[in-house]
Structure 1
Amino acid sequence: MKANRLLSLIAVVTALSTAHTAQAAEPVTNYPTQVVKIVVPYTPGGITDLLGRALASRLEKKWGQSVVVENKSGGSEAIGAAYVAKSKPDGYTVFIASDAAFLVNPLLKKSLNYNPETDFEPIMRLAEGLAFLVVRPDLNIRSLKDLLALAQAKPGQVTFGSEAVGSPSEFRMRLLGGLTGGYKMNHIPYNGMVPIISDMLGGRVDSAWLPPHLARPQIEAKALLPLATNGTKRNWMFPEVPTLTELGFNQTDLSFKMMLVAPTGTPKPIVDKIARDVLEVMQTPDFNEKYVRFNGYTGIASSPKEFQDYLVRTRPFLKQMVKDAGFEAQ
């Protein structure tokens, strides 16, 4: 009698354990079973938004589930980052952002409503972007040397726009200024890149580092004049434009990297599945050509571990660069 009861109890416990295991595994095995949201910390039209939407479209076809992009701009990516950090860690909210959100903000902001080091699960670095430094033709500036000299001659009067405070664009300009007599330009931060172009064409901003897909039509129309590009070699779009390294400023050559994360606590099997599927999409030749290379970017998709290693390796480097560039946390 007691033996029968013991066997029944064991059977019940086993059944419950099996059911619990099945329930726990179900989201991983069947993921995704509902809409997946990709949060972009910029306004529509920029390269991060463009890549996010292209990736969403390919993943939607691959997964048979809706994948949507939600734009949450502002605060140097901090608004979008905080939103994702507080989201349920189930794999249905992910975040595409740059070094600003994951590395730079804690160095520049005394108060953040998210923790870049503990609030996210790295999924993958996606692409590394180059840019063109452009100016308005009516400024009669024909070289980077001319622009820096004008900034020295007119402290605080020469403006440049960037996508955010602490962006690679701002770092470049501060370092360039520091190497040529001191940083004396007037920085105007925006929530994304597209509004900068409107203000440049309207005569309200003098200069900016623009991603190739936005700079190209303006350069071809001669509405904006390119002075330099970053990267180890000249950009295939405009091979006549010199690199910062050629001009003697290799230490200012920072790039814009797009990276994908999920909220901390997202199950590892889901993170790994997203990483595998995103890597497959990013390495598809037509996707890489149309959405990455054509826009002047380079695919760097690899793995969650590679992304984590990059964060650990880069934090001390950027910390020193922030100090050298004269930034002060605010």
Structure 2
Amino acid sequence: MKTRAGIAIKLVAGCTLIAAGVAHAQQPADPAAGYPNKPIRFIVPFGAGTQTDVLGRLIGQKLTESLGQQVIIDNRPGASAILGNELGAKATPDGYTLLMSGTGALAINPGLFPKLPYDPIRDFAPITKLVIVTQTLVVNPSFPAKSVKELVAAAKAKPEQINYASFGAGAANHLTTEMFQHAAGIRLGNNVSFRGSADANLQVMSGQVPMMFDSMTSVLPHVKSGKLRGLAVSTAARSPFLPELPTIAESGYPGFEFAGWTGILAPARTPGPVLDKLEKAIIAALQKPDVKELFNTLAFTPAGESREEFRRFMISEIAKWGKAVKDSGTKIH
């Protein structure tokens, strides 16, 4: 005859097994299973037709093809890209909102704006860095200096007399120029600000302003046509688009490296398996012939880092550009 104690033990054991089975059944499925099952919003914090927008639309098209769901570009320009980045940071972290962002919004803005409505590390899950955009030091062809060494000598001979063009205080090319002055121990003249690259290039080509740093994308055709003279590039390695130009580092200033970059991120707390799926799809897109062709047309250097590599890169870039902002004394009110 079964004792009451024995029956009780069996009942407890049975209930434990049932509870374990229910708990197992209630465990969430793989978040990436069936993802995506609806359109994905892709925020681009710049206007339609800009280089970043063109890049975003092509990557979005490739993701549409590989993921089987429409990737819809959502242009949100304005306020130094703060508006679009804030929108991306506050979106639901489910993999259905992506953000294209880069140097200015993620690495420079934290040092410029004391009350930025997003934190680049806390509020985003980096997916991959897409491209590197080389800054190129150019001068008007009539300017005497034909090398970095000669430019530095001219600046030392005439301190605070050689003006330079930029896109405004705190812009990447302004800060790159400031750090070049710091590295070379020189003081250039006035920072002559223009609304964009086209205006700045025109003024340097016309001789109204003798020099500037600008993206390889913008200056490449003018250097090749002889309307601008290239002196050096700001990256650690020479650019394949103008391989004859030395780096600033090899021109006498070791360690000098300031370049633009663009990557894709998701809101923080987006499930890891979803991020892995997106990372794989985006890096695969970078290998497509038409994507490579666009990179060549825009003079972009492809990247394609892992999520962890991109996260570490962002941390180092925030520190580097933050120091540049502080050392330059730039303040945005």
TM range (shorter): 0.7 to 0.9
Aligned to 1:292: 295
Match in the other structure for 2:166: 161
**Secondary structure of the structure 2 residue equivalent to 1:324:** helix
User: RMSD of the TM alignment (CA)?
Assistant: 3.7
8 Å contact kept, 2:101–2:262: yes
Return the match for 1:210 from 214, 220, 228: 214
How far apart are residue 148 of structure 1 and its match? 8.3
Counterpart CA distance in 1 for 2:140 and 2:57 is: 31
In the TM superposition, residue 255 of structure 1 has moved relative to its aligned partner by 1.4
Mark the CA change 1:60 to 1:161 in structure 2 (over 3 Å): closer, same or farther.
Answer: same
- Alignment partner, residue 303 of structure 1: 306
- Compute the displacement of 1:20 (Å): 8.8
- Tell me, yes or no, if structure 1 residue 119 matches structure 2 residue 90: no
* TM-score of the pair, normalised by structure 1: 0.78
Structure 2 residue 327 is the aligned partner of structure 1 residue 324: yes
Larger Rg: 2
Structure 1's 299 and 240: CA in aligned 2 closer, same or farther, altered over 3 A?
closer
Equivalent pair of 1:107/1:329 in contact (CA under 8 Å): no
Partner of 1:52: 56
Evaluate the alpha carbon distance shift between residue 325 and residue 271 of structure 1 in structure 2; reply closer, same or farther with a 3 A threshold.
same
TM alignment of 1:233-244, pairs within 5 A = 233-244=237-248
State, as a whole percentage, how many aligned pairs show the same letter.
25
Q: What code does the residue aligned with 2:214 have?
A: L
The correspondence for 2:193, drawn from 180, 188, 194, is: 188
C-alpha distance 219-311 of structure 1, shift in aligned 2 (>3 A): closer
Per the alignment, in what secondary structure is the counterpart of residue 160 of structure 1? strand
Structure 1 residues 157, 237: CA separation in 2 closer, same or farther (over 3 Å shift)? closer
Q: Distance in 1 between matches of 2:224 and 2:36?
A: 43
**1:136–1:207 contact (8 Å) kept in structure 2:** yes
Q: Distance in 1 between the 2:293 and 2:224 partners?
A: 19
Q: Which runs of 5+ in 2 are unaligned?
A: 1-10
Deviation string 1:282-313 (CA, Å, 9 cap, x unpaired) is 2x262563233554333321221222222334
Does the alignment pair 1:108 with 2:112? yes
Give, as a single letter, the amino acid of the residue that structure 1 aligns with 2:234: N
**Are 2:165 and 2:209, in contact at CA under 8 Å, matched by a contact in 1?**
yes
1:65 to 54, 65, 69: 69
Q: What is the number of equivalent residue pairs in this alignment?
A: 316
Gaps (5+ residues) in structure 1?
A: none
The normalised TM-score by structure 2 is: 0.77
Cα offset for 1:174? 0.4
